[in-house]
Amino acid sequence: MAWNDYRSSPPPGTALGHKDDLVDGSARSVLIDSGKGGFPVLLVASKGLIRAFVNSCPHQDLPLDYRSSDIISADGSMVLCSNHQAGFRINDGIGVLDLGHDCALDVIPITIDADGTIRISVAG
């Protein structure tokens, strides 16, 4: 499913947060009020990368950080779902560990403004 197939997905250009609020090696969940309901977003910062995913694990559609916010792998390469430890590459959301195999996170394409605001990419 693509990020913009969700009923509550906000329009391109919507601000999701600010890069200065992210600590490298961590994830932060935010709920965006799109006017069509709350849209759950997981912002991830690791090894200088910033990524955004729909905060819903494809295994059981639970928030990835439902049981813990400590969901970045020790080597900084994966999001590890806090529910049953499915692993997804931070770079592209592809499932690479345990229950994550054969599925993927829904990547939200982002751009970062000069002032550090993270937005859904207009081009995406």
Q: How far apart are CA 84 and CA 2, in angstroms?
A: 23
Q: Which residue's CB is nearer to ligand FES, number 50 or number 103?
A: 103
**Pick from 59, 73, 109, 111: which binds ligand FES (CB under 6 A)?**
59
| 3-state SS, residue 98 | helix
Q: How far is the CB of 65 from ligand FES (least distance, A)?
A: 10
Which of the stretches 6-14, 35-43, 78-86, 101-109 binds ligand FES when contact is defined by CB under 6 A?
78-86
**Pick from 31, 60, 112, 116: which binds ligand FES (CB under 6 A)?**
60
Work out the number of other CB atoms within 10 angstroms of the CB of residue 57.
Answer: 26
Of 48, 62, 39, 56, the residue nearest 93 (C-alpha)? 56
Q: How far apart are CA 55 and CA 65, in angstroms?
A: 8
Q: Which residue's CB is nearer to ligand FES, number 32 or number 65?
A: 65
83 binds ligand FES (CB under 6 A): yes
Q: How far apart are CA 124 and CA 106, in angstroms?
A: 13
- Which spans of this chain sit near ligand FES (rule: CB under 6 A)? 57, 59-60, 62, 81, 83-84, 86, 99
